[in-house]
Amino acid sequence: QKSHRRKRSRSVEDDEEGHLICQSGDVLSARYEIVATLGEGAFGKVVECIDHKAEDRHVAVKIVKNVARYSEAAHAEIAVLEDLNALDPSNTYRCVRMLEWFEYRGHVCIVFELLGLSTYDFIKENGFLPFRLDHIRQMAYQICTSVNCEYVSFLLSSILFVEFANYICYLAVLHLNKLTHTDLKPENIVFVTSDYVEEYNPKLKCEERTLKNPDIKVVDFGSATYDDEYHSTLVSTRHYRAPEVILALGWSQPCDVWSIGCILIEYYLGFTLFPTHDSREHLAMMERILGPLPNHMIKKTRKRNYFRNDQLNWDKHCSAGRYVSRRCKPLKEFMTCHDSDHESLFDLLQKMLEYDPAKRITLEEALKHPFFFPLKRQKRVLSPEADTDASSPKKNKRC
């Protein structure tokens, strides 16, 4: 019985790891013809398919491994996606749309709308060059928009901001319904379409891709957790993990806000702010960039081995210590330009990367931050027809 919980009996169509063995031309459930493999991970694989029962539209099908723990996680994700679909029947929110799900030869299969590249893959294919600041602003707004019903009502009732109804994103649904994503990262923020224009950048002496449309959706709800559900001690991918998670102090929606702060600065820099896989080194990087950890968090944590005399137990002169000192610097020193737009972004980032989750900016507060004022002014003066091409705004001032 114990082994049954760990792993299902394998089909002859499975490989040793539990992946379904499939190729282009195979048809799932007498409906979905596989065109290409889009990606593969610990959970299974994602394939692009033609839906022969829906006018041959192209969809993405997540084929989960035939392994019990992944199947159970898939069913939990399906439950969240069904809740989101019910809350958003008109598909207004910025979360990926589940079209249906089914089981095929022991594999849970989830059918999604087909989207473009993830924001991580776009950066990678663009030589890890950062996004334009105006695109960061638009993506940030879409990720963050509308945390509580009162603010949503304000946006929807305002003539000036009526177009922002189209930007009500997944976090409005998640956080309003006491749900935390817990795994926000550039890989899980995906462009609706990743079309781009490519131009030579004489300053960098290389070809540079610029997005035509920065509209995004958030994917992968496999780790999303309701407030009244069991909270695993360890959540989030390492580089985007909040300090309260590392210190095992408990977590809720503010850990998503920390992750968003890490994502936005990665969009700005082209590389991750905390490049480490070790918790003590991660905390040392935080202190180098953001200053000392609050004393009350140090006193409260069970992770006593990270500290000595209420100070981080970290040798700045060892090899790892020298790496952190060389690689990291105070947050504001990462600014590539000191105009008002860049200053405003870094002020927002500082508030998102607040150590104490109780003091960390909420997304409702973030949406009122001056960083978003230019976006609101643009929406006030532009008609919908004039705002269709996101590749056309004036270039940011180069520093």
Q: What is the CATH number of the domain that holds 348?
A: 1.10.510.10
Inside any domain, residue 395: no
Q: What is the largest CA-CA distance in the chain?
A: 67
Inside any domain, residue 248: yes
* Adjacent-strand bridge partners of 64: 44
Give the model's confidence band at 12: pLDDT under 50 very low, under 70 low, under 90 confident, else very high: low
The stretch 233-238 carries a mean pLDDT of: 95
Q: Quote the number of domains for the chain.
A: 2
The predicted structure's pLDDT at residue 211: 93
Length of the chain: 399
Residue 100 shares a structural domain with residue 150 = no
Q: Are 44 and 96 in contact (CB under 8 A)?
A: no
Q: Is the pLDDT of residue 161 over 70?
A: no
Rounded to whole angstroms, the Cα distance separating 329 from 326 reads 8
Inside any domain, residue 398: no
Rounded to whole angstroms, the Cα distance separating 252 from 181 reads 9
Q: Is the pLDDT of residue 258 over 70?
A: yes
- Residue located via tokens 């935390």: 180
Residue 288 shares a structural domain with residue 238 = yes
**Contacts from 341-345 at CB under 8 Å and sequence distance 24+?**
341/133, 341/371, 341/374, 341/396, 342/133, 342/399, 344/369, 344/370, 344/371, 345/133, 345/136, 345/137, 345/264, 345/268, 345/371
The whole domain housing 227 covers 119-387
The predicted structure's pLDDT at residue 171: 61
Residue 83 shares a structural domain with residue 130 = no
Residue 249 shares a structural domain with residue 316 = yes
Residue 127 shares a structural domain with residue 59 = no
Using one digit for the tens of pLDDT, what is the confidence trace for 78-128? 998 898 888 778 776 677 899 999 999 999 999 999 999 999 999 999 999
Inside any domain, residue 258: yes
Decide: residue 217, CB within 10 A, 0-12 exposed, 13-18 middle, 19+ buried: buried
Inside any domain, residue 363: yes
Structure token pair of residue 25? 């031309």
The predicted structure's pLDDT at residue 88: 74
Catalytically annotated residues: 183
Inside any domain, residue 70: yes
Residue 104 shares a structural domain with residue 127 = no
| Of 97, 113, 129, the domain-final residue | 113
Inside any domain, residue 399: no
The stretch 340-358 carries a mean pLDDT of: 98
Residue 185 shares a structural domain with residue 199 = yes
Residue 240 shares a structural domain with residue 266 = yes
The predicted structure's pLDDT at residue 6: 40
Q: Are 6 and 68 in contact (CB under 8 A)?
A: yes
Residue 82 shares a structural domain with residue 145 = no
Residue 15 shares a structural domain with residue 147 = no
Task: Provide the H-helix boundaries in the chain.
Answer: 2-6, 68-87, 119-125, 133-144, 149-157, 170-176, 243-246, 254-269, 279-290, 295-300, 319-327, 340-352, 363-367, 373-381
62 is known to lie in a ligand binding site: yes
Phi, psi at 75, each rounded to 5°: -65, -35
R_g (Cα) of the chain, nearest Å: 22
Residue 93 shares a structural domain with residue 132 = no
Structure token pair of residue 394? 């004036």
Q: Is the pLDDT of residue 217 over 80?
A: yes
| Of 113, 145, 161, the domain-final residue | 113
Inside any domain, residue 349: yes
The predicted structure's pLDDT at residue 34: 98
Rounded to whole angstroms, the Cα distance separating 160 from 163 reads 8
Q: Are 164 and 144 in contact (CB under 8 A)?
A: no
Task: Give the number of other Cβ atoms within 10 Å of residue 7's Cβ.
Answer: 15
Using one digit for the tens of pLDDT, what is the confidence trace for 200-212? 988 888 899 999 9
Rounded to whole angstroms, the Cα distance separating 100 from 163 reads 29
| Of 91, 113, 135, the domain-final residue | 113
Helices 254-269 and 133-144 cross at an angle (nearest 10°) of: 170
pTM across the whole model: 0.86
Residue 191 shares a structural domain with residue 330 = yes
Q: Give the CATH number, domain containing residue 48.
A: 3.30.200.20
